[in-house]
Chains A and B, each alone.
Chain A
Amino acid sequence: MFEQIVFYAFAAGLIFAAFMVITVRNPVHAALFLVAGFFASAGLWLLLEAEFLAIALVLVYVGAVMVLFLFVVMMLDINITVLREGFTANLPIAGIVAFLMLAAIGLVVGRHHFGLTEIPAPQAAGADYENTAALGRVLYTQYLLPFEIAAVVLLVAIIAAIALTLRSTRQTKAPRPERQVRVTRAERVRLVSMAAEKPAPADAPEA
């Protein structure tokens, strides 16, 4: 009973947060609601006895990824009114399509097919069960290849990020002391030989 209350509380929180992410006006608030959404899913994962993953979600996504994301959102100069144009115009059609999709999905992925009689709840693990150790064991044995490919995907992401943002031309200006002290007079002073006085033009108009 208690488990169900907790589940519904977190699930409702997750749906609310997800809805707010796409509807609030302020992008910073949207990012903060996304953080709330991550917290709610971490709670759900705890209920599923995936403790390590739940904590990793909070540490990595809430702690690192979203903070960076917030910085990016704050630094970008987003004109929200321009982005919002056409949002309400398409809402009726989009709403109908979304509702129909939701109803169809609800019919298929409902109690009839995923109920407790069709798919019984797994046995709860004992007190000495170590989530982290079990995860580590399959990650480095059974799922070694996917794990390595994921690493390559991250490498490509790094290369792509650098390729898309690095400006090869120098944009920062800094003094170079080693060149400053070696400067010679010829580089700084140019002697120009010229007449001492500029002669007045012969046919200058009278003032």
Chain B
Amino acid sequence: MKKMSMRTKLFTVWVFFVTNFKRLFRDKTAIFFTFLFPLIFLFVFGGISGHSGTSFKVAVVSSTDSQYYKDFVTSAGKDKILKIDSKINTLKAAKEAMTRGQLDATIIFPANFGQLKDGHPSGQAEVLYTQNGAQAGQAVQGFLQTRYFTPVNAGIIKTTTPFVAVPKQLNDKSLSSFDYTFAGLLGFAILGAGIFGPINIFPELKKMGILRRLHTTPLRVWQYFLSIMLGNAVVGLMTLGVMFAVAMTLFHLKVVGNYFELAIFLVFSIVLILGIGLSIGGWAKNERQAAPLANIVVFPMMFLSGTFFPRFAMPIWLQSVTNFFPLTPVIDGARLIATEGKHLTQLGPQLGIMAVWMIVVYFIAFRVFRWE
């Protein structure tokens, strides 16, 4: 009896992958859900966050005309994240506007802002906000600090202390809600392809007896799974690539991370989430079994892992629970690499959680898989 070599077994995987890959592009419904559906979400959510989410209405009350203050006003005008209401320029008017909810916060530049102190210019701008506007106020304060002052400070340190290491702009606290929105949408696309794909296709293949037929051949479950993984990884990267391209051209997403690391991370994510879909779809005998189970698994991730609602706005206890959902490190990791320029080596916690889930999910997938 001839034994199949590993090369032959992988050839089998390759043929299955190629056949199903070609098939996808003949299926209009599949193309819609694979490529256009995530883009629709991107436009909807990108649109929302572009107009309200990312910008804060502020008033600037200044008692100085220092160059640092002027620079701030010019660059804030270009940035469009802080929308300065130029009609309000007294503290009294600003306070009134805030209580009416017209403004998110008021930035006060005192007279000594930008004056020399201990040999270099310094100053303390005050961010004023109301009690119920605390969240926006703190965001404005954080944004002001990281986006405008940190780079300026970095510049000052560079000139005054020559022995300091090269200063680097810190991205990790900069607050752009589109960064969050986009990472969430990436997560949503991965979730959709990885889970809704298999749970729709498998019961259909079982109903038609296609898997049963394959079961009568020497094809192994791992070969079948691997061909699906390969397909999902390639198609997934294409989908996500399109999303990145659209986000970068239309929504001014700035990718500062390494594309190769990003691609590796996304493939790892796609394969992980696919494992959940393979478990459910592979186990379910029919759609009626697959759909409810998929919903139970998908909905918590959809709402709590940061797809549509940023996790930083959730209570701490909820964050600490949802930290361990499989999709959370996917979304966080994608954002950390893409928009914050982190490297894979810096994503220990995310990759760790994902690795554990990977083992759990595929252990289940192989255990519960049924050919019919």
A and B pair up? no
Chain B residues at the A interface, C-beta cutoff of 8 Å: none
